[in-house]
């Protein structure tokens, strides 16, 4: 019987991250979920049979401190932590350049630094043939202010990471969802008009489900997906193609 793989999923307490972690635990993998909210994270981990390690993935000191609790070997890393911080912050007033800069930094920290810091911290523990999957967004192609720009930066970083991991058989890919419901992403800001405008351009005329994103991540994490690397895989019902 092959050895259990060690899986780390950041932002694994709710939504897409939780669905991803649940896919791995259901397959008999050993999973560690991380996130900022200890109570939410521990409840989710208990529900699916995972370990919980609470820390802020965008904080260098917090990531460093958490290393003692994270697996000594990492076979799969899923960088799912992030979200559009503009949906939980008050928009800066016109002409408030300091507020605008803070808003852009917030999305960069939440979406880019979280992935970069956790990946760098765990890189010495990567097994040969490691699989790194980072969550991007359709916003990287269609725009969404600082959030879209941050997800576009993830795509550029992923290319460098894939190049670094390749000689040891490792892969790095981005999964870029379109609109996905049943998550905390929208924080109560979703309107029917906005949702309808996005769903209307999807070929299947619907939003995605967290479990559908989890299935794609699970595929990319398989040992047999070793020649698929450095790519962005859109999962959006056809709303934007990989062209």
For range 23-37, the mean pLDDT:
96
Q: Angle 15-26/38-48 helices, nearest 10 degrees?
A: 30
Domains recognised in the chain with CATH numbers? 6-235 (3.40.50.720)
For range 188-202, the mean pLDDT:
70
User: 24, 147, 157, 185: which is the annotated catalytic residue?
Assistant: 147
* pLDDT score recorded for residue 1: 40
Give pTM, 2 decimals.
Answer: 0.91
CA distance 76 to 129: 9
For residue 213, name the pLDDT band (cuts at 50, 70, 90).
Answer: very high
Which residue in this structure is represented by tokens 């070793």?
A: 226
CA distance 125 to 195: 41
Coil, strand or helix at 77 = strand
* pLDDT score recorded for residue 188: 64
* pLDDT score recorded for residue 139: 82
- Name the residue among 106, 120, 118, 26 with its Cα closest to residue 78: 118
Does 151 participate in catalysis according to the annotation?
no
Looking at the DSSP bridge assignments, the partners of residue 175 are: 135, 233
What average pLDDT does the structure give for the chain?
Answer: 90
For range 89-98, the mean pLDDT:
88
State the Rg of the chain over Cα.
17
CA distance 208 to 165: 30
CA distance 221 to 67: 22
pLDDT of residue 6 exceeding 50, the answer is yes
pLDDT digit string, tens, across residues 162-190: 999 999 999 999 999 987 876 655 556 66
pLDDT digit string, tens, across residues 72-93: 999 999 999 988 887 777 888 9
3-state helix, strand, coil in the chain (%, to 5): 45, 20, 35
């Amino acid at each position: 019987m092959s050895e259990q793989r060690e899986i780390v999923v950041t932002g694994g307490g709710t939504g897409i991250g939780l669905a991803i972690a649940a896919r791995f635990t259901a397959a008999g993998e050993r999973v560690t979920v991380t996130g900022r909210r200890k109570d939410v994270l521990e409840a989710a981990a208990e529900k699916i049979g995972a370990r919980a390690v609470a820390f802020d993935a965008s904080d260098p000191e917090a990531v460093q401190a958490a290393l003692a609790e994270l697996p000594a070997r990492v076979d799969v890393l899923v960088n799912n932590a992030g979200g559009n911080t503009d949906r939980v912050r008050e928009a800066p007033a016109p002409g408030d350049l300091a507020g605008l800069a803070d808003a852009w930094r917030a999305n960069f920290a939440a979406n880019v630094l979280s992935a970069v810091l956790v990946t760098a911290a765990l890189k010495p523990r990567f097994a040969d043939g490691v699989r790194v999957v980072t969550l991007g967004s359709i916003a990287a192609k269609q725009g969404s202010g600082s959030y879209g720009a941050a997800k576009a930066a993830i795509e550029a970083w992923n290319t460098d990471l894939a190049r670094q991991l390749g000689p040891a058989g490792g892969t790095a890919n981005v999964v870029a969802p379109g609109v996905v419901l049943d998550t905390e992403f929208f924080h109560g800001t979703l309107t029917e008009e906005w949702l309808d405008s996005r769903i209307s351009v999807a070929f299947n005329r619907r939003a995605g489900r967290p479990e559908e994103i989890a299935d794609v991540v699970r595929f990319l994490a398989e040992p047999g997906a070793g020649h698929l690397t450095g790519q962005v895989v859109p999962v959006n019902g056809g709303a934007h193609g990989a062209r």
